[in-house]
C-alpha cells in the first residue's frame, strides 16, 4: 500500500514506539494488542510450493466444512486470535500464515502475488486432505480470497467466501491511511513480532515484497470480478474503514453478481482485533445466510 511509507516507518519504528499512547475514546482509532492464538501453538509447517507454511487446525473433531482464516499484509494468524477462539466453539477452523508472513517462509527470489497466495492456500488445504473450505479473508487475505474465487482451478473448492477489507486495485488504498497512528503502530509492531517469529530473517526484505505487491496488485477489472459466483460471497466493510477507500466495499458488492454486503459498525480495517465478538457474529451470520 505504500512502499516508501513502510520503509521510512521502519527507520523510525523505535522512535514511534517510544511516543506515549494518547488515550482515545473510539475503538476504531485504536490497534488493541495482538491477540493470542488458542494454546498450544503448533510448530508444524507444511512444505508447499517451495516454502514451509505454518497452519493450525482448531476443533477438527467438530467436522463439517472448515473455515479458513486468511490474515492481512505484514501480519499473521494471531491477528485473528480472538476470532479463532470464538469461532472454534462451534466450528472447525483452520488458520494459515501466508507465504513469508508470521511463521511461514519465503524465498529471496519470490515475487508475491495474490494468485500465488491463493494457490499456496488451496494446495496446503488439499495436502491436508481438505477438498472444500469456507474462505474468510481480511485485507491482503481478502484479495487472496478474490484471487481464489477468480481461479477456475481453485474456486470449486471454495464453498463460501467472506471478503473483509478487500480491494481490486492499488488505487483503492485510502491516500491518508499511512498518516494514521494505527498504521504506524501496526507496521512497527509487525517488525517487532517478525523478529520473534522468524529470528534471523530480514523483515525489510519481506516487507519490501509486501509493499511491492500492494503497490502494483491486484489489477482486476469490474468485468473480471463479475465472473465470480457471488451467490457464495459476502463482501464486508467497516463503518470507519481507513485503509481502503470507503466506496470500495459497496463497489465490490455491486460488481460481484448476487453477492451480499455487510458494513460492520464502530470499527475500522482492524475490526477483527477491535471487536472480535462482532466480527465472529458477522461470520456466523454469513455461514447460515
Ligand atoms: C471460477 O473461475 C472462472 C474463471 O474466472 C469463472 O469463469 C467461473 O465463473 C468461476 N466459478 C465460480 C463457481 O466462481
Ligand atoms: C493492469 O491491467 C492493465 C489492463 O489489463 C494493464 O495494462 C496493466 O499493465 C496491468 N498492470 C499490472 C501491474 O499488471
Ligand atoms: C479515508 O479515511 C479517512 C479516515 O481516516 C476518512 O475520513 C476518509 O473519508 C477516507 N477517504 C475515502 C476516499 O474513503
Minimum-distance ligand to the CA of 182?
3
Task: Say yes or no: CB of residue 155 within 6 Å of ligand 1.
Answer: yes
Domain holding 67, by residue range, is 35-288
**Assigned domain for 3 exists:** no
How confident is the model at residue 28, as a pLDDT? 97
**Assigned domain for 173 exists:** yes
**Assigned domain for 18 exists:** no
Q: Which residues pair with 45 in a beta bridge?
A: 54
Each residue's pLDDT expressed in tens, for the chain with a length of 289 residues: 455 455 455 544 444 444 555 565 799 999 999 999 999 999 999 999 999 999 999 999 999 999 999 999 999 999 999 999 999 999 999 999 999 999 999 999 999 999 999 999 999 999 999 999 999 999 999 999 999 999 999 999 999 999 999 999 999 999 999 999 999 999 999 999 999 999 999 999 999 999 999 999 999 999 999 999 999 999 999 999 999 999 999 999 999 999 999 999 999 999 999 999 999 999 999 999 8
Minimum-distance ligand to the CA of 257?
1
Strand order in the sheet with 158-164: 45-48, 51-58, 93-96, 67-70, 133-138, 158-164, 233-238, 260-264
Judge whether 171 and 77 are in contact, CB under 8 Å: no
Q: How many domains, the chain?
A: 1
How confident is the model at residue 237, as a pLDDT? 98
Which residue's CA is the closest to the ligand 2 atom numbered 11? Answer: 219
How confident is the model at residue 9, as a pLDDT? 52
How confident is the model at residue 21, as a pLDDT? 58
How confident is the model at residue 13, as a pLDDT? 47
Indicate the pairing of strand 133-138 with strand 93-96: unpaired
CA 202 to CA 74: how far, in whole Å?
Answer: 13
Ligand 1 geometric centre to CA of 199 (Å) = 40
Which residue's CA is the closest to the ligand 3 atom numbered 5? Answer: 242
Domain of 64: which CATH number?
3.40.50.1820
CA 282 to CA 31: how far, in whole Å?
Answer: 20
Task: Say yes or no: CB of residue 216 within 6 Å of ligand 2.
Answer: yes
**Assigned domain for 267 exists:** yes
**Assigned domain for 281 exists:** yes
How many Cβ atoms from other residues are within 10 Å of residue 124's Cβ? Answer: 23
Task: Say yes or no: CB of residue 284 within 6 Å of ligand 1.
Answer: no
**Assigned domain for 4 exists:** no
Task: Say yes or no: CB of residue 181 within 6 Å of ligand 3.
Answer: no
pTM metric for this prediction: 0.92
Mutate to test the pocket of ligand 2, among 3, 219, 220, 223 (most ligand atoms within 8 A of CB): 219
Minimum-distance ligand to the CA of 247?
3
**Assigned domain for 88 exists:** yes
Task: Say yes or no: CB of residue 228 within 6 Å of ligand 1.
Answer: yes
**Assigned domain for 22 exists:** no
Amino acid at each position: 500500500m505504500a512502499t516508501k511509507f513502510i520503509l521510512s516507518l521502519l527507520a523510525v519504528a523505535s522512535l514511534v514506539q517510544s511516543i506515549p499512547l494518547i488515550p482515545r475514546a473510539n475503538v476504531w482509532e485504536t490497534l488493541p494488542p495482538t491477540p493470542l492464538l488458542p494454546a498450544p501453538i503448533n510448530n508444524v509447517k507444511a512444505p508447499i510450493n517451495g516454502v514451509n507454511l505454518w497452519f493450525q487446525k482448531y476443533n477438527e473433531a467438530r467436522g463439517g466444512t472448515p473455515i479458513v482464516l486468511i490474515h492481512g499484509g505484514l501480519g499473521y494468524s494471531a491477528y485473528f486470535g480472538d476470532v479463532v477462539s470464538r469461532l472454534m466453539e462451534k466450528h472447525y477452523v483452520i488458520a494459515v500464515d501466508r507465504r513469508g508472513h508470521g511463521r511461514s517462509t519465503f524465498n529471496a527470489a519470490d515475487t508475491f502475488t495474490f494468485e500465488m497466495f491463493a494457490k499456496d492456500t488451496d494446495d496446503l488445504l488439499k495436502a491436508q486432505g481438505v477438498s472444500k473450505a469456507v474462505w474468510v479473508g481480511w485485507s491482503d487475505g481478502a484479495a487472496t480470497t478474490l484471487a481464489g474465487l477468480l481461479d477456475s482451478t481453485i474456486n470449486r473448492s471454495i464453498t463460501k467466501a467472506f471478503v473483509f477489507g478487500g480491494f481490486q486495485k492499488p488505487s483503492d488504498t485510502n491516500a491518508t491511511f499511512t498518516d494514521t497512528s494505527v498504521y504506524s503502530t501496526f507496521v512497527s509492531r509487525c517488525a517487532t513480532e517478525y523478529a520473534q517469529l522468524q529470528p534471523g530473517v530480514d523483515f525489510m526484505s519481506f516487507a519490501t515484497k509486501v509493499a511491492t505487491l500492494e503497490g502494483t496488485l491486484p489489477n482486476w477489472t469490474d468485468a473480471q470480478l463479475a465472473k465470480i459466483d457471488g451467490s457464495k460471497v459476502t463482501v464486508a466493510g467497516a463503518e470507519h474503514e481507513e485503509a481502503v477507500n470507503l466506496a470500495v466495499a459497496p463497489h465490490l458488492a455491486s460488481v460481484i453478481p448476487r453477492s451480499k454486503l455487510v458494513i460492520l459498525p464502530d470499527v475500522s480495517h482492524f475490526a477483527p482485533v477491535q471487536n472480535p465478538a462482532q466480527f465472529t457474529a458477522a461470520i456466523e451470520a454469513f455461514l447460515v445466510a
